[in-house]
Chain A
Amino acid sequence: MTFVGPLDVRRRRWGAQQFAEARLGLLLAAPALLTILLIALVPLAQTIGDSLFQINLKFENAPRPFVGLDNYGKVLGDDSWFNALGVSGLVAGASVAAELVLGMLIALLINRSFRGRGIVRASVLVPWALTTVVSAKMWAWIYDGRYGVFNDLLMRLGLIDQPIIFLVRPELTIWAMIAAEIWKTTPFMALLLLAGLQLIPTELYEATALDGASRWQTFWRVTLPLLKPTILVALLFRTIDAVRMFDLPRVLTNGGPGKSTETVVLYTYNTFFTSLNFGYGSTLAVMIFLIVVLVSFIYIKVLGAPTQGAGR
């Protein structure tokens, strides 16, 4: 809200100075606007256009007939698409839920001053800053079926007798991937929630303590309602990140074994650049765009998530 300025607060009279200011404002915003237009909006329109054609780049001079909405009809009967949708849904649901619970727990516990707070803060940022591709390689090595440290730890603890080859068993692989995702993003969630917690005035807690509320009651009646905007923003961005997930499945499993970890973006990417099927690939890309729009619509309009900088 602070970002919006007095746009709808004060009614202005338009004098020469106001015109000059408006012109300068548009001028300063123009480069950013132009970049967004040329690199995002125009290509998006082209993708939508391409989705109505049959375009295969395997054959350079192949005809590219207009097929109307045929590609969209094809999506409805595409088992691979629904498989990918299931994978993305499971990964998004499981990882975002786990991140929220774990992140909240961590944020509540470190929301106080204590010795070594700086160390905690710095170590929280390491998984966040780490390149996803690198993190995928790290986890592939940790999960390794013969030399991996995870198997070694489980064996030393006596939990298993034989090493488990995590990345070849579909029912395990997807959870191994979800665990890697949770590791990378929980700290960031904790950080956002912590920032939200620190905005809650301490007087409120003192008042509820005087009223004799238990910690549990305080959490449900005071902390959670006041934290709701922060939680919704964090969930919105994390859910969308999970829908857009590409780097981790591409490098950790390449969608395998079979198609058990193939997310929607990975499937679409392969349709573009392995099958070179740019028409149908565009259709899938439009579907992903629509999913993102739907998810953000639900969060922003239905749940009332405040949007960063956009005011309301």
Chain B
Amino acid sequence: MTTRAPALPHPPLRETLSHWERAGVREGVGFYVFVAAFVVFCLAPFVWTLLTSLKGPTTIFEVPVRYLPTPPDLTNYQDIFGLERFRWALLNSAIVASSATAISLVIGSLCAYAVARLYFPFKNLLLALVLAIAMFPGIAIIGPLFREFNAWGLTNNYLALILPNVTFTLPICIWVLTAFFSDLPAELEESARVDGCTRIQAFYKITVPLAAPGVFTAAILLFIQAWNEFLFARTFMSQPNRLTATVAIAQFEGADISAQYPWGQITAASIVITLPLVVLVLLFQRRIISGLTAGAVKG
């Protein structure tokens, strides 16, 4: 694969031009083989997990491996939804991730608006701080947060996870929204203000609705980040019914502890936990990509 590009004979000029014009390019079989291999590379582990989750207890542990679950067996899914801990874990993750997303959006949109539109002192310091948070190692604050949360009785409280999640989702939120606000013409707000709106009214009535696609994109990115968080969730929650989905799956022991390691249930739980994310990705791939790359390439 690595030799493909340089090994190509130098194409004649006309072909080169039409290649870069990109319109109606017919790609060769080799190209599609590569693309197919890449798609398989990306999806195979996930598909394998899905196939495993649909196998019964004996089919999973067959040697040599049986690839297709015939017939599909939903026992694993019934088992994990029968576990109270797992149902709690899903609920906890949903509560933490959506609260953190909502709070981060409110705080972040105000900040992003100020960055995009207003002239104020210490703006560069603020932006440097936001960048620093994006690179900040969570381990550097986990000790004091653990002790403080203990002292304030916040362990096993959703707030103990929501607060750090808000903090660490802020950079992406601010970057995505600043990019969107900057792209909106300022004249719209100015004319609203001429018509008698205050600055804040203009922000909420004109800018936010127009930036809805940006807010939505940011919301998806923040939700995914908060949903996947593990370090803080593992540290600040200890009661079985307060664990988030990531912690629950990391510590999964299955319905029957004496049985073999419950790969069927683990894979089923993995599918359930990641399904919301995969659905989001499939539905909103364009937005996600534009949001992810906006900050990085505009810099």
Contacts and interface: CB of A to CB of B under 8 A. Distances in A.
Interface in B216-246: 224, 227-228, 230-231, 234-235, 245-246
Interface stretch (A67-75, A166-174, A191-199): A191-199
Given A250-B250, A310-B131, A119 B39 contact: yes
A247 B138 CA distance: 12
Interface of B: 1-2, 5-6, 8, 10, 13, 16-17, 19-23, 25, 27, 31, 34-35, 38-39, 41-43, 45-46, 48-49, 52, 60-65, 106-108, 110-111, 113-124, 126-131, 133-148, 163-164, 166-167, 170, 174-175, 178-179, 182, 199, 224, 227-228, 230-231, 234-235, 245-247, 249-250, 263, 266-267, 270, 273-274, 277-278, 280-282, 285-286, 288-289, 292-293, 295-299
Contacts of B270: 134, 137-138
A146 B43 contact: no
B111 A28 contact: yes
B8 A215 contact: yes
Contact of A24 (B41, B108, B111, B199): B199
Nearest to A20: B199
A51 B265 CA distance: 42
A247 B230 contact: yes
Given A133-B250, A216-B5, A289-B140, A311 B121 contact: no
Interface string A29-49: 101110110011011101100
A161 interface: no
A309 B127 contact: yes
A43 B48 CA distance: 42
Contacts of B118: 5, 21-22, 24-25, 28
A121 B289 contact: yes
B9 to A, nearest CB: 10
Contacts of A209: 13, 16-17, 20
Given A46-B144, A191-B292, A278-B147, A4 B123 contact: yes
A281 interface: yes
Which of B10, B45, B131, B289 has the most CB atoms of chain A within a 10 A radius of its CB?
B45
Nearest to B203: A28
Nearest to B245: A131
Given A243-B137, A289-B140, 8 more contacts: A24-B199, A35-B107, A39-B164, A118-B285, A131-B273, A210-B13, A215-B6, A308-B131
Given A309-B127, A309-B174, A134 B48 contact: no
A126 B282 CA distance: 8
Contacts, number: 360
Interface residues of A, number: 121
Contacts of B267: 137-138, 141
Contacts of B245: 131
A40 B133 contact: yes
B175 A309 contact: yes
A26 B135 contact: no
Contact of B35 (A4, A120, A129, A138): A120
B22 A112 contact: yes
B145 A43 contact: yes
A147 B48 CA distance: 13
B170 A36 contact: yes
B167 A269 contact: no
B5 A108 contact: yes
A155 interface: yes
A81 interface: no
A259 interface: no
Contacts of A26: 114, 120-122
Given A39-B167, A40-B167, A133-B249, A240 B135 contact: yes
Nearest to A101: B2
Interface string A126-156: 1101111111111101101011110010011
A206 B10 contact: no
B63 A47 contact: no
Contacts of A289: 136-137, 140
Contacts of B292: 188, 191-192
Contacts of B281: 122, 125-126, 129
B139 A268 contact: yes
Interface in A187-220: 187-188, 191-192, 195-196, 199, 202, 205-206, 209-210, 214-216, 219
10 contacts: A33-B126, A131-B274, A138-B49, A138-B270, A144-B263, A191-B293, A246-B230, A247-B246, A272-B146, A310-B131
Interface string A230-270: 10011011001001101100110000000000000100110
A306 B289 contact: no
Contacts of A113: 22-23, 25
B22 A311 contact: no
Nearest to A46: B144
Contacts of A133: 228, 230, 246-247, 249-250
Contacts of A237: 134-135, 296
